[in-house]
Structure 1
Protein backbone atom coordinates (compact mmCIF):
# COMPACT_ATOMS: atom_id res chain seq x y z
CA UNK A 1 0.00 0.00 0.00
CA UNK A 2 1.29 3.44 -0.87
CA UNK A 3 2.08 6.06 1.77
CA UNK A 4 1.85 9.83 1.85
CA UNK A 5 3.03 12.60 4.13
CA UNK A 6 1.06 13.53 7.27
CA UNK A 7 0.86 17.30 7.58
CA UNK A 8 -0.33 17.73 11.19
CA UNK A 9 1.96 18.48 14.12
CA UNK A 10 2.16 15.23 16.10
CA UNK A 11 2.09 16.92 19.50
CA UNK A 12 -0.31 19.82 18.98
CA UNK A 13 -3.49 18.18 17.64
CA UNK A 14 -6.06 17.50 20.34
CA UNK A 15 -9.26 15.55 20.66
CA UNK A 16 -11.55 14.28 23.41
CA UNK A 17 -14.32 11.85 24.24
CA UNK A 18 -16.86 14.53 23.39
CA UNK A 19 -18.12 12.49 20.45
CA UNK A 20 -21.73 12.67 19.35
CA UNK A 21 -23.98 10.73 17.05
CA UNK A 22 -23.31 7.35 15.53
CA UNK A 23 -19.65 6.22 15.71
CA UNK A 24 -17.84 5.75 12.40
CA UNK A 25 -15.53 3.09 13.78
CA UNK A 26 -14.52 1.04 16.82
CA UNK A 27 -11.25 0.24 18.55
CA UNK A 28 -10.85 -2.94 20.60
CA UNK A 29 -7.63 -3.57 22.55
CA UNK A 30 -6.34 -7.12 21.99
CA UNK A 31 -5.79 -7.66 25.71
CA UNK A 32 -7.85 -10.19 27.75
CA UNK A 33 -8.80 -7.76 30.51
CA UNK A 34 -10.03 -5.18 27.96
CA UNK A 35 -13.36 -6.55 26.67
CA UNK A 36 -15.12 -3.28 25.91
CA UNK A 37 -15.22 -1.66 22.47
CA UNK A 38 -14.25 2.02 22.23
CA UNK A 39 -16.51 3.98 19.85
CA UNK A 40 -14.83 6.48 17.53
CA UNK A 41 -17.16 9.41 16.94
CA UNK A 42 -17.01 12.64 14.97
CA UNK A 43 -15.46 15.75 16.49
CA UNK A 44 -15.76 19.23 14.98
CA UNK A 45 -17.24 17.76 11.81
CA UNK A 46 -14.35 15.34 11.22
CA UNK A 47 -14.17 11.56 11.44
CA UNK A 48 -10.87 11.49 13.31
CA UNK A 49 -9.47 9.81 16.43
CA UNK A 50 -6.10 10.28 18.12
CA UNK A 51 -4.38 7.49 20.07
CA UNK A 52 -1.57 8.02 22.59
CA UNK A 53 -0.75 8.46 26.26
CA UNK A 54 -1.72 12.12 26.31
CA UNK A 55 -4.87 12.93 28.29
CA UNK A 56 -6.17 14.97 25.36
CA UNK A 57 -6.27 11.98 22.98
CA UNK A 58 -9.54 10.44 21.84
CA UNK A 59 -8.23 7.08 23.04
CA UNK A 60 -5.78 7.44 25.91
CA UNK A 61 -3.37 4.56 26.59
CA UNK A 62 -3.37 4.25 30.38
CA UNK A 63 -0.27 3.15 32.34
CA UNK A 64 -2.21 0.11 33.58
CA UNK A 65 -2.74 -1.20 30.04
CA UNK A 66 0.84 -2.33 29.34
CA UNK A 67 4.20 -2.68 31.11
CA UNK A 68 5.82 0.60 32.14
CA UNK A 69 8.81 0.11 29.82
CA UNK A 70 6.45 -0.05 26.82
CA UNK A 71 4.18 2.71 28.12
CA UNK A 72 7.13 5.14 28.25
CA UNK A 73 7.85 4.50 24.55
CA UNK A 74 4.30 5.37 23.48
CA UNK A 75 4.12 9.01 22.38
CA UNK A 76 1.66 11.52 23.81
CA UNK A 77 -0.06 11.49 20.41
CA UNK A 78 1.16 8.31 18.81
CA UNK A 79 -1.10 7.95 15.78
CA UNK A 80 -4.32 9.20 14.20
CA UNK A 81 -7.17 7.24 12.63
CA UNK A 82 -9.33 9.04 10.09
CA UNK A 83 -12.27 8.33 7.80
CA UNK A 84 -12.45 10.42 4.64
CA UNK A 85 -15.61 12.52 4.33
CA UNK A 86 -15.33 12.20 0.53
CA UNK A 87 -14.83 8.51 -0.28
CA UNK A 88 -15.35 6.88 3.14
CA UNK A 89 -11.91 5.23 3.16
CA UNK A 90 -9.85 4.83 6.34
CA UNK A 91 -6.26 5.90 6.96
CA UNK A 92 -3.81 5.89 9.85
CA UNK A 93 -1.05 8.47 10.35
CA UNK A 94 2.00 7.77 12.49
CA UNK A 95 3.17 10.63 14.72
CA UNK A 96 5.77 8.72 16.74
CA UNK A 97 9.46 8.10 15.95
CA UNK A 98 8.99 4.74 17.71
CA UNK A 99 6.68 3.59 14.93
CA UNK A 100 3.13 2.40 14.31
CA UNK A 101 2.51 -0.98 12.66
CA UNK A 102 -0.51 -2.17 10.65
CA UNK A 103 -0.73 -5.96 10.29
CA UNK A 104 3.02 -6.07 10.92
CA UNK A 105 3.86 -3.38 8.32
CA UNK A 106 5.63 -0.32 9.69
CA UNK A 107 4.17 3.13 9.04
CA UNK A 108 7.12 5.53 8.98
CA UNK A 109 7.25 8.73 10.98
CA UNK A 110 4.79 11.36 9.69
CA UNK A 111 3.50 9.00 7.02
CA UNK A 112 -0.03 7.76 6.29
CA UNK A 113 -1.25 4.29 5.36
CA UNK A 114 -4.70 3.07 4.33
CA UNK A 115 -6.38 0.59 6.68
CA UNK A 116 -9.54 -1.49 6.60
CA UNK A 117 -12.06 -3.28 8.80
CA UNK A 118 -10.32 -5.90 10.96
CA UNK A 119 -6.77 -4.55 10.61
CA UNK A 120 -4.52 -4.87 13.68
CA UNK A 121 -2.57 -1.77 14.77
CA UNK A 122 0.43 -2.10 17.11
CA UNK A 123 2.31 0.72 18.83
CA UNK A 124 6.14 0.82 18.92
CA UNK A 125 6.74 -2.66 17.41
CA UNK A 126 4.96 -5.27 15.33
CA UNK A 127 4.85 -7.63 18.36
CA UNK A 128 3.85 -4.92 20.84
CA UNK A 129 1.41 -5.78 23.64
CA UNK A 130 -0.14 -2.36 22.98
CA UNK A 131 -2.14 -3.39 19.94
CA UNK A 132 -5.76 -3.02 18.92
CA UNK A 133 -8.08 -4.03 16.10
CA UNK A 134 -9.96 -1.41 14.09
CA UNK A 135 -13.54 -2.06 12.99
CA UNK A 136 -15.77 -0.21 10.55
CA UNK A 137 -19.09 0.57 12.25
CA UNK A 138 -20.98 -0.01 9.00
CA UNK A 139 -19.44 -3.37 8.17
CA UNK A 140 -22.16 -5.96 7.51
CA UNK A 141 -21.61 -9.54 8.63
CA UNK A 142 -22.84 -11.97 5.92
CA UNK A 143 -26.07 -13.73 6.79
CA UNK A 144 -27.20 -11.30 9.50
CA UNK A 145 -30.36 -9.37 8.75
CA UNK A 146 -30.35 -5.56 8.93
CA UNK A 147 -31.86 -5.41 12.43
CA UNK A 148 -29.00 -7.42 13.95
CA UNK A 149 -26.29 -5.64 11.96
CA UNK A 150 -27.65 -2.32 13.26
CA UNK A 151 -27.54 -3.52 16.87
CA UNK A 152 -24.32 -5.54 16.83
CA UNK A 153 -20.93 -5.29 15.15
CA UNK A 154 -19.40 -8.74 14.63
CA UNK A 155 -15.66 -8.78 15.45
CA UNK A 156 -14.56 -12.35 14.79
CA UNK A 157 -15.65 -15.98 14.71
CA UNK A 158 -14.73 -17.76 17.95
CA UNK A 159 -15.69 -21.27 16.89
CA UNK A 160 -17.77 -22.92 14.19
CA UNK A 161 -19.47 -26.24 13.50
CA UNK A 162 -21.66 -27.97 10.96
CA UNK A 163 -24.80 -25.95 11.68
CA UNK A 164 -23.45 -22.61 12.84
CA UNK A 165 -20.81 -20.54 14.56
CA UNK A 166 -20.20 -18.46 17.67
CA UNK A 167 -18.97 -14.89 17.05
CA UNK A 168 -17.59 -12.15 19.26
CA UNK A 169 -19.48 -8.89 18.75
CA UNK A 170 -19.92 -5.35 20.09
CA UNK A 171 -23.28 -4.07 21.31
CA UNK A 172 -23.38 -0.69 19.58
CA UNK A 173 -25.67 0.88 22.18
CA UNK A 174 -23.41 0.32 25.21
CA UNK A 175 -19.99 -0.74 23.79
CA UNK A 176 -19.98 -4.08 25.63
CA UNK A 177 -18.67 -7.26 24.01
CA UNK A 178 -20.99 -10.27 23.65
CA UNK A 179 -21.08 -13.68 22.00
CA UNK A 180 -23.60 -14.38 19.22
CA UNK A 181 -24.43 -17.99 18.49
CA UNK A 182 -25.83 -18.57 15.01
CA UNK A 183 -27.66 -21.81 14.27
CA UNK A 184 -28.53 -22.50 10.62
CA UNK A 185 -31.58 -24.55 9.68
CA UNK A 186 -29.56 -26.35 7.02
CA UNK A 187 -26.04 -26.63 5.68
CA UNK A 188 -25.47 -26.71 1.91
CA UNK A 189 -21.97 -27.52 0.65
CA UNK A 190 -23.21 -27.27 -2.96
CA UNK A 191 -26.54 -27.22 -4.83
CA UNK A 192 -28.73 -30.25 -4.10
CA UNK A 193 -26.37 -31.37 -1.32
CA UNK A 194 -27.91 -30.02 1.90
CA UNK A 195 -28.08 -31.33 5.46
CA UNK A 196 -31.07 -30.18 7.52
CA UNK A 197 -31.39 -29.92 11.30
CA UNK A 198 -33.58 -32.78 12.46
CA UNK A 199 -36.85 -32.12 14.37
CA UNK A 200 -35.25 -33.14 17.66
CA UNK A 201 -32.62 -30.46 17.17
CA UNK A 202 -35.29 -27.86 16.42
CA UNK A 203 -37.08 -28.70 19.66
CA UNK A 204 -33.78 -28.57 21.57
CA UNK A 205 -33.03 -25.11 20.22
CA UNK A 206 -36.46 -23.79 21.15
CA UNK A 207 -36.11 -25.33 24.59
CA UNK A 208 -32.68 -23.76 25.08
CA UNK A 209 -33.97 -20.29 24.26
CA UNK A 210 -37.01 -20.70 26.50
CA UNK A 211 -34.95 -21.94 29.46
CA UNK A 212 -31.98 -19.57 29.15
CA UNK A 213 -34.25 -16.52 28.88
CA UNK A 214 -35.56 -17.31 32.39
CA UNK A 215 -32.19 -17.75 34.12
CA UNK A 216 -30.64 -14.93 36.11
CA UNK A 217 -27.64 -15.88 38.25
CA UNK A 218 -24.27 -14.10 38.55
CA UNK A 219 -22.37 -17.34 37.85
CA UNK A 220 -24.35 -18.47 34.80
CA UNK A 221 -23.77 -17.04 31.32
CA UNK A 222 -26.82 -14.91 30.62
CA UNK A 223 -28.81 -14.84 27.39
CA UNK A 224 -29.31 -11.21 26.35
CA UNK A 225 -31.20 -11.35 23.06
CA UNK A 226 -32.47 -13.65 20.33
CA UNK A 227 -33.89 -13.28 16.85
CA UNK A 228 -34.22 -15.08 13.57
CA UNK A 229 -36.44 -16.86 11.10
CA UNK A 230 -36.67 -20.45 12.30
CA UNK A 231 -36.95 -23.12 11.00
CA UNK A 232 -36.78 -21.62 7.46
CA UNK A 233 -33.43 -19.86 7.88
CA UNK A 234 -31.42 -19.34 11.10
CA UNK A 235 -31.62 -18.43 14.78
CA UNK A 236 -29.36 -15.92 16.54
CA UNK A 237 -28.76 -16.10 20.30
CA UNK A 238 -26.84 -13.31 22.05
CA UNK A 239 -24.99 -14.29 25.24
CA UNK A 240 -22.65 -12.68 27.74
CA UNK A 241 -18.99 -12.91 26.73
CA UNK A 242 -16.68 -13.63 29.69
CA UNK A 243 -13.25 -12.54 28.48
CA UNK A 244 -10.99 -14.60 30.75
CA UNK A 245 -11.03 -17.90 28.89
CA UNK A 246 -12.19 -21.20 30.38
CA UNK A 247 -11.20 -23.03 33.55
CA UNK A 248 -9.60 -25.85 31.56
CA UNK A 249 -7.10 -23.45 29.99
CA UNK A 250 -6.46 -21.71 33.33
CA UNK A 251 -5.68 -25.06 34.97
CA UNK A 252 -3.37 -25.94 32.08
CA UNK A 253 -1.54 -22.60 32.34
CA UNK A 254 -0.90 -22.84 36.08
CA UNK A 255 -0.99 -26.65 36.59
CA UNK A 256 -1.60 -26.21 40.33
CA UNK A 257 -4.28 -23.93 41.77
CA UNK A 258 -3.97 -22.52 45.26
CA UNK A 259 -6.47 -23.80 47.83
CA UNK A 260 -8.14 -20.38 48.31
CA UNK A 261 -8.43 -20.02 44.53
CA UNK A 262 -9.92 -23.49 44.05
CA UNK A 263 -12.42 -22.94 46.87
CA UNK A 264 -13.43 -19.56 45.46
CA UNK A 265 -14.32 -21.04 42.07
CA UNK A 266 -15.87 -24.22 43.47
CA UNK A 267 -18.27 -22.27 45.69
CA UNK A 268 -19.43 -20.25 42.69
CA UNK A 269 -20.01 -23.38 40.59
CA UNK A 270 -21.97 -25.01 43.41
CA UNK A 271 -24.09 -21.86 43.74
CA UNK A 272 -24.89 -21.91 40.00
CA UNK A 273 -25.77 -25.62 39.96
CA UNK A 274 -27.88 -25.30 43.09
CA UNK A 275 -29.79 -22.46 41.45
CA UNK A 276 -30.49 -24.69 38.44
CA UNK A 277 -31.55 -27.66 40.58
CA UNK A 278 -33.96 -25.47 42.55
CA UNK A 279 -35.77 -24.36 39.42
CA UNK A 280 -39.21 -25.76 38.66
CA UNK A 281 -38.78 -28.00 36.79
CA UNK A 282 -35.12 -28.54 37.79
CA UNK A 283 -32.37 -27.96 35.22
CA UNK A 284 -29.62 -30.58 35.18
CA UNK A 285 -26.25 -29.76 33.62
CA UNK A 286 -25.32 -32.98 31.81
CA UNK A 287 -21.76 -31.97 30.92
CA UNK A 288 -20.22 -29.91 33.72
CA UNK A 289 -16.46 -29.85 33.16
CA UNK A 290 -13.69 -27.20 33.27
CA UNK A 291 -14.06 -26.32 29.57
CA UNK A 292 -17.70 -25.34 30.22
CA UNK A 293 -16.79 -22.99 33.06
CA UNK A 294 -15.76 -19.55 31.78
CA UNK A 295 -13.89 -16.79 33.65
CA UNK A 296 -14.80 -13.13 33.46
CA UNK A 297 -11.18 -11.89 33.46
CA UNK A 298 -7.55 -12.91 33.73
CA UNK A 299 -7.54 -12.01 37.45
CA UNK A 300 -6.56 -14.70 39.95
CA UNK A 301 -9.95 -14.49 41.66
CA UNK A 302 -12.17 -13.97 38.64
CA UNK A 303 -15.91 -14.59 38.70
CA UNK A 304 -16.89 -17.86 37.00
CA UNK A 305 -19.72 -18.26 34.47
CA UNK A 306 -21.18 -21.72 33.89
CA UNK A 307 -22.13 -22.24 30.27
CA UNK A 308 -23.59 -24.94 27.98
CA UNK A 309 -26.37 -25.78 30.42
CA UNK A 310 -28.26 -27.63 27.71
CA UNK A 311 -27.07 -30.17 25.19
CA UNK A 312 -28.32 -29.44 21.67
CA UNK A 313 -28.54 -32.41 19.31
CA UNK A 314 -28.65 -30.66 15.94
CA UNK A 315 -27.11 -33.39 13.76
Structure 2
Protein backbone atom coordinates (compact mmCIF):
# COMPACT_ATOMS: atom_id res chain seq x y z
CA UNK A 1 0.00 0.00 0.00
CA UNK A 2 2.89 2.36 0.72
CA UNK A 3 4.34 1.57 -2.70
CA UNK A 4 1.00 2.27 -4.38
CA UNK A 5 0.70 5.55 -2.50
CA UNK A 6 4.23 6.53 -3.49
CA UNK A 7 3.53 5.76 -7.13
CA UNK A 8 0.36 7.85 -7.08
CA UNK A 9 2.16 10.73 -5.36
CA UNK A 10 4.94 10.75 -7.94
CA UNK A 11 2.50 10.51 -10.87
CA UNK A 12 0.11 13.21 -9.66
CA UNK A 13 2.37 15.50 -7.64
CA UNK A 14 -0.20 15.42 -4.84
CA UNK A 15 0.47 14.46 -1.17
CA UNK A 16 -0.95 10.94 -1.39
CA UNK A 17 1.38 9.35 1.20
CA UNK A 18 0.52 11.81 3.96
CA UNK A 19 -3.20 11.56 3.18
CA UNK A 20 -3.10 7.76 3.12
CA UNK A 21 -1.48 7.68 6.55
CA UNK A 22 -3.90 10.36 7.72
CA UNK A 23 -6.78 8.13 6.63
CA UNK A 24 -5.23 5.27 8.59
CA UNK A 25 -5.13 7.42 11.72
CA UNK A 26 -8.71 8.57 11.11
CA UNK A 27 -9.89 4.99 11.19
CA UNK A 28 -7.91 4.40 14.37
CA UNK A 29 -10.08 7.12 15.92
CA UNK A 30 -13.24 5.40 14.73
CA UNK A 31 -11.99 2.01 15.88
CA UNK A 32 -11.03 3.30 19.32
CA UNK A 33 -14.33 5.04 19.94
CA UNK A 34 -16.33 2.25 18.35
CA UNK A 35 -14.65 -0.40 20.44
CA UNK A 36 -15.24 1.67 23.56
CA UNK A 37 -18.92 2.01 22.68
CA UNK A 38 -19.19 -1.73 22.04
CA UNK A 39 -17.56 -2.47 25.38
CA UNK A 40 -19.89 -0.07 27.18
CA UNK A 41 -22.85 -1.78 25.51
CA UNK A 42 -21.51 -5.20 26.60
CA UNK A 43 -21.40 -6.45 23.01
CA UNK A 44 -19.35 -9.59 22.29
CA UNK A 45 -15.65 -8.92 21.64
CA UNK A 46 -16.02 -10.44 18.18
CA UNK A 47 -18.24 -7.58 16.97
CA UNK A 48 -15.48 -4.93 16.52
CA UNK A 49 -13.20 -7.49 14.86
CA UNK A 50 -15.97 -8.53 12.48
CA UNK A 51 -16.55 -4.88 11.57
CA UNK A 52 -12.85 -4.36 10.85
CA UNK A 53 -12.77 -7.51 8.71
CA UNK A 54 -15.69 -6.32 6.56
CA UNK A 55 -14.16 -2.85 6.09
CA UNK A 56 -10.75 -4.33 5.24
CA UNK A 57 -12.12 -6.63 2.55
CA UNK A 58 -14.20 -3.79 1.09
CA UNK A 59 -11.27 -1.35 1.02
CA UNK A 60 -8.87 -3.93 -0.42
CA UNK A 61 -11.29 -4.87 -3.20
CA UNK A 62 -11.87 -1.23 -4.08
CA UNK A 63 -8.14 -0.49 -4.21
CA UNK A 64 -7.39 -3.47 -6.45
CA UNK A 65 -10.17 -2.46 -8.81
CA UNK A 66 -8.76 1.07 -9.19
CA UNK A 67 -5.07 0.22 -9.64
CA UNK A 68 -3.67 1.17 -13.07
CA UNK A 69 -1.76 -1.48 -15.03
CA UNK A 70 1.89 -1.95 -14.02
CA UNK A 71 4.47 0.10 -15.87
CA UNK A 72 7.16 -1.59 -17.94
CA UNK A 73 10.69 -1.29 -16.58
CA UNK A 74 13.16 0.72 -18.66
CA UNK A 75 16.18 -1.05 -20.09
CA UNK A 76 18.63 1.51 -18.76
CA UNK A 77 18.97 2.06 -15.04
CA UNK A 78 20.21 5.56 -14.50
CA UNK A 79 21.49 6.33 -10.99
CA UNK A 80 19.20 8.61 -9.03
CA UNK A 81 22.08 10.77 -7.92
CA UNK A 82 25.71 9.93 -7.24
CA UNK A 83 26.28 6.22 -7.81
CA UNK A 84 26.85 3.94 -4.84
CA UNK A 85 30.45 2.88 -4.24
CA UNK A 86 31.51 -0.25 -6.16
CA UNK A 87 30.44 -3.45 -4.43
CA UNK A 88 27.95 -1.66 -2.16
CA UNK A 89 24.44 -3.05 -2.35
CA UNK A 90 21.78 -0.55 -3.33
CA UNK A 91 19.59 -1.55 -0.40
CA UNK A 92 22.15 -0.42 2.16
CA UNK A 93 21.56 3.34 1.70
CA UNK A 94 17.88 2.66 2.38
CA UNK A 95 18.48 1.01 5.75
CA UNK A 96 19.25 4.28 7.62
CA UNK A 97 15.89 5.64 6.44
CA UNK A 98 14.28 2.47 7.76
CA UNK A 99 16.05 2.89 11.10
CA UNK A 100 14.69 6.42 11.43
CA UNK A 101 11.25 5.12 10.52
CA UNK A 102 11.54 2.46 13.21
CA UNK A 103 12.20 5.11 15.87
CA UNK A 104 9.26 7.15 14.57
CA UNK A 105 6.86 4.22 14.57
CA UNK A 106 8.04 2.96 17.96
CA UNK A 107 7.13 6.30 19.48
CA UNK A 108 3.82 6.50 17.62
CA UNK A 109 2.57 3.02 18.49
CA UNK A 110 3.80 3.32 22.07
CA UNK A 111 1.28 6.10 22.63
CA UNK A 112 -1.38 4.46 20.50
CA UNK A 113 -1.18 1.19 22.41
CA UNK A 114 -0.53 2.42 25.95
CA UNK A 115 -2.34 5.74 26.30
CA UNK A 116 -5.59 4.11 27.43
CA UNK A 117 -3.71 2.01 29.98
CA UNK A 118 -1.90 5.11 31.25
CA UNK A 119 -5.20 6.98 31.59
CA UNK A 120 -6.72 4.14 33.59
CA UNK A 121 -3.79 3.06 35.79
CA UNK A 122 -2.03 6.37 36.44
CA UNK A 123 -4.87 8.91 36.16
CA UNK A 124 -7.72 6.62 37.27
CA UNK A 125 -9.98 7.57 34.37
CA UNK A 126 -13.23 5.67 33.95
CA UNK A 127 -13.73 2.95 31.36
CA UNK A 128 -15.52 5.34 29.03
CA UNK A 129 -12.79 7.98 29.16
CA UNK A 130 -9.84 5.64 28.66
CA UNK A 131 -10.75 5.02 25.01
CA UNK A 132 -10.72 8.77 24.42
CA UNK A 133 -6.94 8.88 24.96
CA UNK A 134 -5.92 6.81 21.88
CA UNK A 135 -8.69 8.50 19.90
CA UNK A 136 -7.32 11.96 20.74
CA UNK A 137 -3.81 10.87 19.79
CA UNK A 138 -4.86 9.27 16.50
CA UNK A 139 -7.15 12.20 15.69
CA UNK A 140 -4.29 14.64 16.14
CA UNK A 141 -2.07 12.47 13.94
CA UNK A 142 -4.74 12.38 11.23
CA UNK A 143 -5.39 16.13 11.28
CA UNK A 144 -1.66 16.90 11.20
CA UNK A 145 -1.04 14.56 8.27
CA UNK A 146 -3.86 16.06 6.24
CA UNK A 147 -2.70 19.60 7.12
CA UNK A 148 1.01 19.10 6.38
CA UNK A 149 0.69 16.99 3.26
CA UNK A 150 1.31 19.96 0.96
CA UNK A 151 4.69 20.84 2.50
CA UNK A 152 7.58 20.67 0.07
CA UNK A 153 10.13 17.85 0.03
CA UNK A 154 12.88 20.45 0.42
CA UNK A 155 11.68 20.96 4.00
CA UNK A 156 11.58 17.25 4.87
CA UNK A 157 14.58 17.22 7.21
CA UNK A 158 13.42 20.33 9.08
CA UNK A 159 9.94 18.86 9.46
CA UNK A 160 11.32 15.58 10.81
CA UNK A 161 13.54 17.40 13.32
CA UNK A 162 10.66 19.58 14.50
CA UNK A 163 8.38 16.56 14.72
CA UNK A 164 10.83 14.58 16.82
CA UNK A 165 11.19 17.48 19.28
CA UNK A 166 7.40 17.76 19.58
CA UNK A 167 7.10 14.01 20.10
CA UNK A 168 9.70 14.11 22.87
CA UNK A 169 8.09 17.10 24.55
CA UNK A 170 4.63 15.55 24.41
CA UNK A 171 5.88 12.33 25.97
CA UNK A 172 7.46 14.25 28.84
CA UNK A 173 4.21 16.13 29.43
CA UNK A 174 2.36 12.81 29.64
CA UNK A 175 4.96 11.37 32.02
CA UNK A 176 4.45 14.26 34.45
CA UNK A 177 0.70 14.74 33.90
CA UNK A 178 -1.32 15.06 37.14
CA UNK A 179 -4.69 14.97 35.35
CA UNK A 180 -6.26 13.52 32.23
CA UNK A 181 -6.55 17.02 30.74
CA UNK A 182 -2.79 17.61 31.01
CA UNK A 183 -2.11 14.14 29.62
CA UNK A 184 -4.43 14.93 26.71
CA UNK A 185 -2.38 18.05 25.94
CA UNK A 186 0.70 15.84 25.93
CA UNK A 187 -0.99 13.36 23.58
CA UNK A 188 -1.91 16.18 21.20
CA UNK A 189 1.68 17.46 21.19
CA UNK A 190 3.17 13.98 20.73
CA UNK A 191 0.63 13.11 18.05
CA UNK A 192 1.38 16.24 16.04
CA UNK A 193 5.08 15.45 16.26
CA UNK A 194 4.97 11.78 15.31
CA UNK A 195 2.48 12.42 12.49
CA UNK A 196 5.03 13.95 10.15
CA UNK A 197 7.88 11.51 10.71
CA UNK A 198 7.27 8.36 8.67
CA UNK A 199 5.40 10.00 5.76
CA UNK A 200 8.29 12.45 5.44
CA UNK A 201 10.89 9.69 5.35
CA UNK A 202 8.88 7.60 2.91
CA UNK A 203 8.30 10.61 0.68
CA UNK A 204 12.05 11.27 0.42
CA UNK A 205 12.56 7.80 -0.98
CA UNK A 206 9.41 7.51 -3.05
CA UNK A 207 9.92 10.65 -5.13
CA UNK A 208 13.31 9.49 -6.33
CA UNK A 209 13.12 5.82 -7.23
CA UNK A 210 12.27 4.29 -10.60
CA UNK A 211 8.76 2.87 -10.81
CA UNK A 212 9.93 -0.67 -11.56
CA UNK A 213 11.83 -0.80 -8.25
CA UNK A 214 9.44 1.17 -6.08
CA UNK A 215 8.03 -1.94 -4.42
CA UNK A 216 11.46 -3.30 -3.51
CA UNK A 217 12.78 0.01 -2.22
CA UNK A 218 9.59 0.62 -0.26
CA UNK A 219 9.73 -2.86 1.24
CA UNK A 220 13.23 -2.27 2.60
CA UNK A 221 12.24 0.92 4.39
CA UNK A 222 8.83 -0.23 5.59
CA UNK A 223 10.03 -3.63 6.81
CA UNK A 224 12.66 -2.03 9.02
CA UNK A 225 10.28 0.76 10.07
CA UNK A 226 7.43 -1.54 11.06
CA UNK A 227 9.78 -3.45 13.34
CA UNK A 228 9.64 -0.28 15.42
CA UNK A 229 5.85 -0.29 15.18
CA UNK A 230 5.81 -3.83 16.57
CA UNK A 231 8.45 -3.27 19.24
CA UNK A 232 7.27 0.13 20.49
CA UNK A 233 4.55 -1.26 22.79
CA UNK A 234 6.92 -3.97 24.00
CA UNK A 235 9.52 -1.30 24.79
CA UNK A 236 6.96 0.55 26.90
CA UNK A 237 5.94 -2.65 28.66
CA UNK A 238 9.51 -3.48 29.64
CA UNK A 239 10.13 0.02 30.98
CA UNK A 240 6.77 0.05 32.76
CA UNK A 241 7.67 -3.20 34.47
CA UNK A 242 10.95 -1.71 35.64
CA UNK A 243 10.06 1.92 36.38
CA UNK A 244 6.27 2.27 36.15
CA UNK A 245 4.25 3.81 33.35
CA UNK A 246 5.49 7.33 34.01
CA UNK A 247 9.05 6.16 33.68
CA UNK A 248 8.07 4.33 30.49
CA UNK A 249 6.70 7.56 29.00
CA UNK A 250 10.05 9.20 29.75
CA UNK A 251 11.69 6.32 27.89
CA UNK A 252 9.39 7.02 24.93
CA UNK A 253 10.59 10.64 25.01
CA UNK A 254 14.13 9.26 24.77
CA UNK A 255 13.18 7.48 21.53
CA UNK A 256 12.08 10.77 20.00
CA UNK A 257 15.23 12.43 21.31
CA UNK A 258 17.34 9.74 19.64
CA UNK A 259 15.45 10.34 16.41
CA UNK A 260 16.26 14.06 16.62
CA UNK A 261 19.97 13.38 17.15
CA UNK A 262 20.24 10.68 14.46
CA UNK A 263 18.18 12.27 11.67
CA UNK A 264 20.89 14.44 10.12
CA UNK A 265 23.74 11.88 10.24
CA UNK A 266 21.58 8.99 9.02
CA UNK A 267 20.13 11.03 6.17
CA UNK A 268 23.68 11.87 5.11
CA UNK A 269 24.65 8.20 5.42
CA UNK A 270 21.77 7.18 3.21
CA UNK A 271 22.84 9.71 0.60
CA UNK A 272 19.77 11.83 1.22
CA UNK A 273 19.90 15.51 2.04
CA UNK A 274 16.27 15.70 3.08
CA UNK A 275 15.50 17.23 -0.31
CA UNK A 276 14.49 13.94 -1.85
CA UNK A 277 17.86 12.84 -3.23
CA UNK A 278 19.06 9.33 -2.61
CA UNK A 279 22.17 7.50 -3.76
CA UNK A 280 20.59 4.07 -4.00
CA UNK A 281 20.93 2.86 -7.59
CA UNK A 282 17.89 1.23 -9.08
CA UNK A 283 20.12 -1.29 -10.85
CA UNK A 284 21.59 -2.30 -7.49
CA UNK A 285 18.12 -2.63 -5.96
CA UNK A 286 17.12 -4.82 -8.90
CA UNK A 287 20.10 -7.12 -8.38
CA UNK A 288 19.21 -7.38 -4.69
Flag the structure with higher strand content. 1
Give the TM-score normalised by structure 1. Answer: 0.23
- Considering only CA atoms, is the larger Rg found in Structure 1 or Structure 2? 1
Flag the structure with higher helix content. 2
